[in-house]
Structure 1
Amino acid sequence: MKVPFFVAICLLFVFASCSEYQRVLRKDDVAKKYAMADSLYRLGKYKKSLKLMEQIVPAYRGKPQAERLMFIYANTYYELEDFYLAGYQFERFTQAYPQSDSAEVAAFKSAKSFYELSPRYSLDQKETDKGLEKLQEFINQYPNSAKRPHANELVAELRYKLEKKQFEVAKQYLRVEDYKAAIEAFDNFILDNPGSEFRAEAFFRRFESAYELAIVSIPSLVQERLLTAKGYYNNFTKYYKDTEFAAEAEKIMQDINARTVTTETEPTT
């Protein structure tokens, strides 16, 4: 079977290119490595380009080509979605070249790399905190940047994730019937997150937790804790009486009133 002429030419070109790449990779000619790394980077062949850059980055420190090399080195990690190294290398770039024309882009991509490392809300949120810190640093440093709206969107996403984490921890205390811990956790959530979309439910769940704590308490503590629950109900209705939790809150409150009246009308001995 004959290979078409055009296909044969393409195959020869590919083999020749691969062979040339391997030769440059093995040799000690730093200039050729730089030229080929730059060419491969422009073509989007990041893995091959990275292998060459890893060999020459130390040799170019302090030289005129270092600024561009360090930027594309960091951006190669970014394009390959190795966000841990991308964030680190972009951070190094901004520290080494704060006056560079690429400093703003590098600062944003460094911050976004840490954003990309943020895990789902149920896991440890150390990387989320780091991402928020870096994004806020970018916003503060470049307040007029065209990338600021996008940075603000990323900040909002990460803050939502932290809110979700804190809120779900509080709900878990309620689910496992650790009502004291639930009340404290919902208290902290309400204080920490004044604009959260979970705030209405947090007010309601705090009230629910206080009610549950009251009805499982020893008799001498029931009335005091029912009064505390009433206070939480009043706080809920003050701000969120028209929410989806209102009907359930009212039902609980009717039971609290019934329990309070029953106790108050019992004959004393």
Structure 2
Amino acid sequence: MRKFLLLVLITVMLASCSEYQKALKTEDIKIKYELAERLYKEGKFKKASRLFEQIVPKYRGKPQGERVTYLYARSLFETELYFTAAYQFERFTKSYAKSDSIQAATFYEAKSYYMESPRYSIDQTETIKAINKLQSFINNYPDSELLDKANVMVDELTTKVEKKAFEIAKQYNTISDYKSSIKATENFLSDYPGTSFREDAMFLKLDAMYNLATKSFITLMEGRFNEAASAYKTLVKFYPETKYKEEADSIMASITEELGKISK
């Protein structure tokens, strides 16, 4: 029985492959379309996409063109060809602006860019593009059932961009370029006032200001230590029980000591 079932399975697979190969080679676009749609429904997106690719130009301007174009884009998305999928979804939205699938196409175009967003340590150009696409979807379809998913993706991508910017400021501090670290941190706090890295950035600014003061000429020390003291006060004002409390208090104690020496 097992051998019989295996034989049947092999026969079906061979017949399926043969049907697919014939469809790829035939000039009959109806055969290609029918098989492509069947393969799509069966979840065989790679094969479906190859057939859709062949017939999309043939159906342009015809009643079936809208469905063929959309399914082609979805097939590309499901096979993780996200850049190509994004391009095809964009073409769909421009060509079929009144389609019932326009909302879904807009969402999947944005999600395609989301899927191509690199890890935070890489250049975040694609991430920003994805955020803009998702934000556009949110603005255009505020009542969409996909709104929650879009918002979650925006939050995730925004955090990634923020982490990239914060790590740059942190790296400046690590290599002892304290002026650049302070400037980058100030820009970061200005650009992302609601960031989850706000506490970290405030402590980083304090640390960089303190380090800069200790490395300064004597004539600049008093002013810079006072600026560092202000950074400490800002940190503990917003985060009285900051996770950096022990380090921050230690820095403040050193600042007080240094100012005492200078005043004498």
Q: Is the shorter-chain TM-score for this pair beyond 0.5, marking a shared fold?
A: yes
Aligned equivalents of 1:49, 1:146: Cα separation in 2 = 27
| CA drift at 1:257 | 1.0
Query: Which amino acid in structure 1 is aligned with residue 121 of structure 2?
Result: S
| CA drift at 1:21 | 1.9
| CA drift at 1:92 | 1.2
Alignment partner, residue 176 of structure 2: 177
Are 2:62 and 1:32 aligned? no
Which structure 1 segments of 5+ residues have no match? none
Aligned equivalents of 1:4, 1:244: Cα separation in 2 = 66
| CA drift at 1:12 | 2.5
| CA drift at 1:129 | 0.4
Query: Which amino acid in structure 2 is aligned with residue 34 of structure 1?
Result: Y
Q: How does 1:60-139 map to 2 (within 5 A)?
A: 60-139=59-138
Question: Is 159-168 or 27-36 further displaced after alignment?
Answer: 27-36
Alignment partner, residue 263 of structure 1: 262
Alignment partner, residue 15 of structure 1: 14
Counterpart of 1:197 in 2: which secondary structure? Answer: coil
Query: Which amino acid in structure 2 is aligned with residue 209 of structure 1?
Result: A
- Contact 2:236/2:242, CA 8 A, preserved across alignment: no
| CA drift at 1:51 | 1.7
What do residues 195-219 of structure 1 show as CA deviations (whole Å, max 9, x unaligned)? 1121112111111111100111122
| CA drift at 1:3 | 8.5
Alignment partner, residue 230 of structure 2: 231
Aligned equivalents of 2:235, 2:2: Cα separation in 1 = 78
Alignment partner, residue 250 of structure 2: 251
Aligned equivalents of 1:141, 1:22: Cα separation in 2 = 42
Question: Is 216-225 or 167-176 further displaced after alignment?
Answer: 216-225
Alignment partner, residue 49 of structure 2: 50
What's the TM-score, normalizing by structure 1?
A: 0.94
Query: Which amino acid in structure 2 is aligned with residue 176 of structure 1?
Result: I
| CA drift at 1:184 | 0.4
Are 2:150 and 1:151 aligned? yes
Counterpart of 1:75 in 2: which secondary structure? Answer: helix
Counterpart of 2:139 in 1: which secondary structure? Answer: helix
Which structure 2 segments of 5+ residues have no match? none
Query: Which amino acid in structure 1 is aligned with residue 31 of structure 2?
Result: K
Aligned equivalents of 2:251, 2:10: Cα separation in 1 = 77
| CA drift at 1:49 | 1.4
What's the TM-score, normalizing by structure 2?
A: 0.96
Question: Is 9-18 or 230-239 further displaced after alignment?
Answer: 9-18
Q: Report the count of equivalent residues.
A: 264
Aligned equivalents of 2:11, 2:204: Cα separation in 1 = 70
Aligned equivalents of 2:126, 2:218: Cα separation in 1 = 47
